[in-house]
Structures are given as structure tokens and as C-alpha cells.
Structure 1
Amino acid sequence: MKTAVSMGTGNDTRVTEFVLIGFTLNPHLQTTVFALFLLIYLLSLFGNLVIIALTLLDYRFHTPMYFFLSNLAFLDIWFISSTVPKMLVNLVTKNKTISFIGCILQMYFYLAMGSMEFFMVAIMSVDRYVAICQPLRYNIIMNRRSCVLMMLGCWIGGFLDFILPTFMVFQLSFCGPNAVNHFFCDNSALVRLACSATQKLELMFFSIASLVILSTLLLTIISYAYIVVTILRIPSASGRKKAFSTCASHFTVVTIVFGSCIFIYVRPAESSSLDLTKGVALLNSVITPFLNPFIYTLRNKKVMDVLKKIMSKGSPVES
């Protein structure tokens, strides 16, 4: 396998490609791992596309919750596609290189879509708060205009968060080695390869990621604190159970998303093993987009009823 590709002008040698080391695997397991991740990728695309289609085609899903969920599904398609296709190629070929620009762009889109995921999960927490704690005002607060503006904020905010540090990575000098010790162009692993000073840039990445994670986590915790207090005040056990069930799917996603990313970005990278960090990154960027549609649909009676109707009659649309 090629371990370094660089070219230069005069005495200036600059890296033009990076090598993604990925996971250390037994060669006999590569085909099995490839098949597993290909299956996960295809199922993720299918599950998220089903959610988007249901939201667009069936009037019963024209609600704020499913509007947010369809945006999350659309995001998850792009999120998992930012890393898995290249990882699959690397598993079946000896050429594990990625161009300099391709690596920077992969890093940027991974970070941008990761930010969007946090924003959307936090907004969905607020939606659950309003639905349970302010049910009589739900349609007024979560009107179409406010929902669209909140989602626009998620998308725009995610794209803007890491533009400056990404531009600064472009300005770094990479003179070799060029082996990125990750399965994708992770910003921490990439910046470590730079020949120029990176302390300020690493601090910027850490600060932005921490701000995004901790601010959205705080909003989510506050929302769920009010939700729990409100549910505990419901006199009937059946009422409490029903209220908790409406939040169970989202809370599961919250736990996975925040738990994995807090480990990766808030903890200093040096304090954890690289293999463990790769595993948690895999959970965040691959497993979460795969699980999200199934967590939300398999626990949702309305969705399952509509899917059964589609399979029996072939049309989800209800007038």
C-alpha cells in the first residue's frame, strides 16, 4: 500500500494526497466487514428515505414533529454518505488515498452535518417540551413559519460553524507524513500531520465543537427537565406512560448522539486510545444515522400502521 504521495516546486515539498489508515483488520475479515457496512449503508438510506416519503406523501404526517424528523432523515443520508462510501472503497481496494481537497471537504461536511444533528436534536427536544408542557398552545407556538425558521437556523448554523477553521486547515503546510490514523479525514488526526503550528487551530476546533455540543445539550436537558416534572404531575399511570412513550424514541437518539460526541470532542484526544476514539466516531457517523429511522418508526404505531397499509394497498396517501 502506498504510504506517502507528495510533490513540490523547488525545495518546497507539499502533500497532495492523504492515506486513510482506517481500522486494523485481519485481511480475511475485510470482505465480511465490507458486506456488513454496505448492508448498514443501504438500510440507512432505505429507512431515512421511507421517513421522508411518508412525511411528504401522507397528510397524517404533516405535523411539526414529522417535519423535524424528515429533516433529520435527510441530514442522516448525507451524514452517513460523507464517510461510508469512501470507507467501503478502502476496504476492497489497495489504494486507500484521498486527495488533499477531498480530505478537507470530507472533514468539513462531517463537522458541519454533525453540528446540524445537534441543532436538530435540540429543536426536537423543544418540540416535545411544547407538546407535553404547553399542549393547548402547541399549534400556536409550533406553527409552520416557526418550524421552517428553526430548521433553516439548523442548516445555516451547521454550515457556518466550521467554515473559518476549515479555511485555516487549507492554509496549513503539510510536508509529510501523510497517513491519517482514522477511517475518514477527522480534523484532529489531520491537523496532527501539519508541519506548521496548529495550537490555535486545535483550540478553535475544540471551542466550536464544545460550544455546539454543550449549548444544545443544555437546551435538551432543560426541555427534558420540564417534561419529566410535567409528566410526574399527571395523576393517572396510563397518562404518564403515554406521555413517556412519546419521548422515548427521541430520548434514545439524544443519548446516542450526545454521548458519543461528548466523548470525541469534549475529552482531550490524548486521554483516550485511538481505536476507542475511532469506534465512538463510527457509532456517531455510521450507526446513529442507521438507527435513527428504525428507532423512530419501530416504536411508532402510526408509522407502522401506515407502512402495513402501503404494503397491502400500495399507496400511503390519505385525503
Structure 2
Amino acid sequence: MTHQMNQTNFVEILILGFENLREYKIPLFLFLLIIYTCTCIENLLIIFLVNKSPHLHSPMYFLISNLLFCELVYTTNLVPLMLHDLLLGRGVISYLGCVIQLNVLGGVSNVKAFLLTFMSYDRYLAIFKPLRYSTLISNRLCLYVIILFWLISFLSVAVVFYLLINLKFCGPVSIDHFYCDYTTLISIACSDISVLMIYVLVISTTLTLGPCLLIILSYVFIIVAILRIKSSSGRQKAFSTCSSHLMAVTLYFGTLFGLYVMPRSSHYLQLYKGLSFVYFAVTPLLNPIIYTLRNRDIHKAMKMTISKVKQYCTTKVH
């Protein structure tokens, strides 16, 4: 069997993509291009505003800008290649490129889960200990914590990278998805995948379920703290400080949980693809909207920036 195995470095993977929607490839391409363009503009704009507006230099906005940076990396890792494959009807990617794509997805997903957890803690402190908030959390502390998150995530996916890059395949490799789906990939490998499966199960459970449970615990304390506030206006103000984050958490973990529990049989494949599309392409589009729709500080920063641009243009004209 060994002599029939392809050398991993020379394996090319056929990505079938939206093969059953070939007649709609132009509308799909335009739809995805609009989503990706809007996603990039939204995320980059908010990151720029947080960086340039002094009144947004607070831990909450620092964490939000880092989360949106993750969203930008996340969607850029997938969508440009999806756009390319849509035009061709199907795509081909090298095995190394596939493994890199998978590890970027996994690494950024870990950091996003960590950030959402730390943001829950930030909201807990803002509501539960408002007087000590500025002494308990700062931008410098957030920076150190985020660096730690990236290090943990890098180390966890580095092991996955090593295990994946050493897999062997016995013949042509094709994946009926629009990206390198991990489950499909390992199911068609010829070499022993037991170590890889156990490691990924432990890591994904620890780094996904762990943060999810911590977030739930944080919101239990937050709800208790809000209910203790006597005035209705005070309760409403306290809830508004964490409602955006709660929506983002629900969207992220709800979609992710749906992907985990959905059967991978052929009967549910199109539904699985659709949910994956929402998770990978639509969520990065919605998060900036969720965090800015009712945020007065962001609106103020945007108005100030527009005013400065108008002033600059007027000065240039004259």
C-alpha cells in the first residue's frame, strides 16, 4: 500500500465548490464579491476609527478592533479563493495551501473565541465593578492578553499543521465543499489519523467549549448584577453596554454549534455548505454592524472623521 501513496507535497486537491449551482455562478460571484467588499470596508473603517479617535482608546474598543481584525483575516483567507473558484466552476489547491488555509481558520477561530470570552469579562467588570473598572483593566493589559491568545493559538495549530502535512493519500483528492474542509480531508487519507483526531478533538473542545462556558458564566453574573439595579433606566443602560456583545457571541457560537452537530451525510451536505457560508462569509459582515449600529461613540468618531475629510478637501480646493 505504501508505494501507492501520493507524496503529500505533490498532492493537488480538487475543490468542487458550488458545482450544482453552475448556472448561477455570475450572480453568486457578484453576491459574494459585494459581501467581501462590504466586510473589508466595514472592518477596516472601524479599526481605523478606533486607532485615530482618542475617545475610543479604551479597553472595550481595543478588544473590538482586534476582534474585527480577526474577522478580516478570517474572511480574506477564504473568500478571494472562493471568488476565483466560482468563476472557474471548480478550483484546485495544493495540499500545502489547503493545510495553511485550515490552520489559519483554526488559529483565528481560537483567538476569536478567546477575545469574545475576554470581552465578556470586560463587560462583567464594567457592570459589576464600575468604580474599579479602570484600575482592573487597561489597554496595556489587553495587549498582553491578546499576545498570549495568539501564542496559545499558534502553538495549538502548529501541532495540527505538523500532523496534517504528514498525511498520505492513495489517489486523487477531491472535496465537495467551497474550501478545504477538515472532516472531508482526513476521511480520505490513507495514513493513520488516530493521533490527529484525538488531538483536534481535545484542542477544539478545550478552546471552543471552554470559552463558551466561561462566557455563559460571565453572563449569569452580569444578569444577576443587572437585576440588582433598582432603577429601570439603570438596568436598561447596563443591558445596553453588553447587548451588542451578546448578539455577536450568540451569532458566533450558535452557527459554530450548528456546524458541529449537523450530520455530514450527503442528505445534509447542501445545508452544511449553506451554514458554513454564513459562518465564514456572513458573520464577518454582520459583526461590525452589530457593534456600531447603536454605538454613539463610533457614530461620533465617524462624524468627526467625515468633518475632517470635508475640511481637508475644502482647504485643498481653495
Q: TM-score, normalised by structure 2?
A: 0.91
> Residue 93 of structure 2 aligns to a residue in which SS?
strand
Out of 4, 21, 24, which is 1:29 matched to?
A: 24
**1:273 deviation in Å?**
2.2
**1:94 deviation in Å?**
4.5
Q: Judging changes above 3 Å, is the alpha-carbon distance between structure 1 residues 265 and 208 closer, same or farther for their aligned structure 2 residues?
A: farther
Q: Distance in 2 between matches of 1:241 and 1:22?
A: 46
Question: Tell me, which stretches of 5 or more residues in structure 1 are unaligned?
Answer: 1-8
**1:271 deviation in Å?**
11
Q: Which residue of 2 aligns with 1:6?
A: none
Q: Distance in 2 between matches of 1:233 and 1:10?
A: 70
Q: Which residue of 1 aligns with 2:167?
A: 172
Higher helix proportion: 2
Q: Judging changes above 3 Å, is the alpha-carbon distance between structure 1 residues 176 and 91 closer, same or farther for their aligned structure 2 residues?
A: same
Q: Which residue of 2 aligns with 1:225?
A: 220
Q: Distance in 2 between matches of 1:134 and 1:175?
A: 59
Out of 157, 172, 179, which is 1:184 matched to?
A: 179
Opposite residue 259 of structure 2, the aligned amino acid is: I
* Higher mean displacement: 31-40 or 187-196: 187-196
Tell me if 1:145 matches 2:136: no
The number of residue pairs the alignment matches comes to 308
Question: Tell me, which stretches of 5 or more residues in structure 2 are unaligned?
Answer: 312-318
Q: Which residue of 2 aligns with 1:62?
A: 57
Q: Deviation string for 1:171-194 (max 9, x for gaps)?
A: 111122311122111211111121
Opposite residue 182 of structure 2, the aligned amino acid is: N
Aligned CA RMSD, in angstroms, stands at: 2.1
> Residue 119 of structure 1 aligns to a residue in which SS?
helix
Tell me if 1:83 matches 2:78: yes
- Counterpart mapping for 1:260-271 below 5 A: 260-265=255-260, 269=264
Q: Judging changes above 3 Å, is the alpha-carbon distance between structure 1 residues 11 and 138 closer, same or farther for their aligned structure 2 residues?
A: closer
Q: Deviation string for 1:264-313 (max 9, x for gaps)?
A: 34667569822222222222221111111111111212212322333244
Q: Which residue of 1 aligns with 2:191?
A: 196
Q: Which residue of 2 aligns with 1:52?
A: 47
Q: Which runs of 4+ in 1 moved over 4 A?
A: 9-12, 266-272
Q: Distance in 1 between matches of 2:224 and 2:90?
A: 55
* Higher mean displacement: 152-161 or 72-81: 152-161
Out of 15, 22, 27, which is 1:20 matched to?
A: 15
**1:95 deviation in Å?**
5.3
Out of 110, 121, 126, which is 1:126 matched to?
A: 121
Out of 84, 104, 110, which is 2:99 matched to?
A: 104
Q: Percent same amino acid at aligned positions?
A: 37
Is the 1:210–1:266 Cα contact (8 Å) retained in structure 2? no
**1:261 deviation in Å?**
1.5
Q: Which residue of 2 aligns with 1:213?
A: 208
> Residue 254 of structure 1 aligns to a residue in which SS?
helix
